A and B are shown apart, each in its own frame.
Chain A
Amino acid sequence: MSIVAKVFWAFISLGVVTIWGLTLNGIVHKIFARVQGRLGPPVWQPFIDIFKNNAKRTAISHGIMYYLGPVFRIAGGIGTYMFIPVLFGSPYFSNFSASGDVLLVMYFIFFGQLGMALGAGEGGHPYSAIGVSRGLSQMTAFEVPFALSVISLAIQYHTLNITDIVAAQQGSFLNWTLFTNPLAVIAAMIAMLGMNMYNPFSVVIAPQEIPIGPPTEYQSAFLGLLATNRGIFNGAKLVLFMNLFFGGATNIFEMVAKTFAIYMFSVFVGAAYPRFRTEDSIRFFLKVPTLIGIASVLLFSL
């Protein structure tokens, strides 16, 4: 396939994952509302919010870095997504995956948060700074079990290429990493709870405590961009986890079903548990999940 066609299809798949990620957000809000005995917003509410935020007539800026914060964030989201093959064996939905792309993807997951931290700091609001410090420290903590589980996978499959990892899991569902390397999957799924920032680990945006953390000063189209990125980043993370641990997908319906199921894990936990404080969540990540990750690495390297 020529590079032009590749770019074209990459944009198509980006559109698909944006819509799917935002719909997932809407579904999650609906589920949380039903758990609390409310009707909840309609499933398409995230789309309306994005339209509205982009339709705001005025917007203010606090400087160059403030402008670039959401841009870095969405660049991180798109960058994460662009190097993950969405459908195994499909030439259209494989994006730009290449050898060694797990490392690149992990870098991009970090990249957006860092850019956002710089931008939110320029906003000058003290709650932004508190949210940023909490977010970065919590992210550093959950990266440890996630990185250990990826290392374990690399030892197990002798590759860092996501397409090869997916290919190794084809055949029967018993070939999925979930069954061949369960310890790594447990460590990574706990890390995903931190990544999704639902309830035990929602102290970053703690809505009743520090109003909403890093994006306190962001408004209008900036907020629309951040909300769009929430959809893309959600989709990208879920597709990555599906590829690494749950055998990937060969068609779009399988992708939708599997990502939905993976997401429900963090939603169930989020609806049932109260919130950790920052130091508690860091301690939590550095204890059990890290030990599980180390065990899975040792298991495959010895």
Chain B
Amino acid sequence: MLDLTRTTLAVAFTLAGGAYAVAQDLPRLTVYTYDSFASEWGPGPALKAGFEAQCTCTIDFLGTDDAIAVLRRVQLEGAATEADVVVGLDTAIAGEARATGLFAEHGLDLSGLVLPSEWTDAQFVPFDYGYFAYVYNTEALPEPPTSFEELIALPDDFKIVVQDPRSSTPGLGHLLWIEAAYGERAPEIWAGLAPHILTMTRGWSEAYNLFLSGEADMVLSYTTSPAYHAVAEDDDRFAYAEFSEGHLPQVEVAGILASSDQQDLARDFLAYLTSPEGQAEIPTTNWMYPVVDLGDALPEAFTAQAQPETILALDEDAVTANSRLWIEQALAAIR
């Protein structure tokens, strides 16, 4: 029995080890990112192929389950980390990431990028963005609410499904959106939303799935979600509900670790990531808006519904200092 265990373990070891037997001679760039970025459906494989074709290097994407996990991992590893680049932090945790002092300056000129607001960050390079919004089915819901207040005023059986801000990136984004729109009045808005909240899921995918199976009228997601259904499923029934309070953008960023011994290669990768070739891969794999003008290369679905008119913003330091407090207030308000 023990022999069998040992043999099986040895087989597992070999299986796992075999995957890492790769060419040693080329310079190697290790990118930590969230799982769906690295997965076969995400931008990872195409970016790897595109960048390796021009860099004479090997690039490894290592997926951890979400953006916060990526940050926590580099924090735990500190200067000993294998990572050269981190891809996929968002504006909600950028402040905290910056405060760790683990990130180097990117030194790239980003003035040509198209973003919700001008980009002047010395450490983080934006590579896509979207806005937090409620997504709905236009057939089932011909007249969606046009503001939080309108949503609150609807009958209690109008249900939305959202994510827990403590465990989910969009869940935290949702909270920050309400904070940006209402500030001190945010707890009041949460209390108003309470009867409409069907449930608060652990992650985005459970919530989105609940919505797709018809359990809720709207789901907290991104303004770009309808584009997925239009492009990949040829289904244009989905839209986002534009709110008159405005929408908070989620900008996804990448950064170079100061501990990396591949600073130049890392910078080249970030330049590629924000180049038109790299950006062309983003919309239909990560389902977000590109940060350059792709012209006709951007599927029409992304422009079929215009981006929100009013754009909100939150100060990075305020987010870092207060998000825990805001979470407690919001949870208390809906309890």
A binds B: no
**Chain B residues packing against A (C-beta within 8 Å):** none
**Chain A residues packing against B (C-beta within 8 Å):** none
